[in-house]
Amino acid sequence: MKPAFSVIFLTTLIGAAQGLFLALFSAQSYALFNLLPVQDSPSFYAAGSALVLILSALGLASSFFHLGRPERAWRSAAMWRTSWLSREVIVLPAFMGVVFLYGVAHFTGWQPTVATLPYGIVLDATLVLGILGTVLAFALFVCTGMIYACLPFLHEWHSPLTVINYTLLGSASGFTLAAAFAASSAPGLTRFYAIWALIITLLAFTSRGASLLRNSRLRPKSTLQTAIGIKHPRIVQKSAGFMGGSFNTREFFHGQSVATLRSVKWVFLAAVFVLPTLLLGVGLWAGSERALPLAFAVQYLGLLAERWFFFAQANHPQNLYYQAIA
């Protein structure tokens, strides 16, 4: 498939935003059970929520460049009963709305008690909003991943690993960003976020590696014979059948060589997993705060390459018919 950079930026930016919100609420939840110090300054959660909204808005804005008729974007939500894309279109603004309320509640100090749990644990409005935002964040991961995992004719995508990878990669980038953010605004949480960023990055490496191994073993079910309906044992295509290109030849193949794909694969494996792990380790054990923002920057650039590879690796069956021009 031909990678669309608008979709690449959309999925990586909102993934980092979702991961960052999960990181913010994780710290608040740990503090509720006295496992982390309570953040007395409401600006930490408010500023973190603002950063989540900025990333989400940038991702949403980039998606409009993928539309042929942007003024009709609202129609994309009409098929929510059957379309994962429509569900994503609905869940994303709902997630952004809850994050906005979560940030405002922390900034204004609006924390009325909603319920008192056993052992005197007080459940206030920010916790309720945080729980709702967490549910929407995971729902958004599922919707985004299922847009591709639900396509049975694209065997590289048609796997539960697609949804798992979207969730883990987005969470890893979000927690890495949270570690960099906490280093300057809440130093007491830096170690917590960096350790979880390391753990999630290693989990993401395991799941992404499993998907790469699975895809390397795939064998197409279709052949050139089944593509054109002729059973002759030896068929060689000499021409696509027309002088110029078409939508099929432009949009269903990336146009790059096998060597390019192999190079991009090793680049993203190093940039998403190896280098951030090393930089997070330096930030943790050497106490270098500069390593944490660098870890996020390298990891995000690597995610751009990973998402490009994700789209380019998918081999549409129609390329059997247009293989001469592809």
Per-residue pLDDT of 25-84, as tens digits, reads: 999 999 988 888 887 777 899 999 999 999 999 999 998 887 777 777 778 888 889 999
pTM of the model: 0.92
**Cα–Cα distance, 146 to 238 (Å, whole number):** 37
Taking only the tens place, the pLDDT of each residue in 276-317 is 999 999 998 887 778 999 999 999 999 999 999 999 999 888
Q: Which CATH class is domain 5-320?
A: mainly alpha
The 3-state secondary structure of 160-212 reads HHHHHHHHHHHHHHHHHHHHHHHHHHCHHHHHHHHHHHHHHHHHHHHHHHHHH
Asked whether residue 246 carries a pLDDT value surpassing 70, the answer given is yes
Q: Is 233 strand, coil or helix?
A: coil
**Cα–Cα distance, 266 to 269 (Å, whole number):** 5
Sign of CA dihedral 206, 207, 209, 213: positive
C-alpha dihedral (289, 295, 301, 307), degrees to nearest 10:
-140
Q: Where are the domains of the chain?
A: 5-320
**Cα–Cα distance, 85 to 91 (Å, whole number):** 10
Taking only the tens place, the pLDDT of each residue in 197-226 is 999 999 999 999 999 999 999 887 777 787
**Cα–Cα distance, 31 to 25 (Å, whole number):** 10
Residue linked to tokens 């922390």: 106
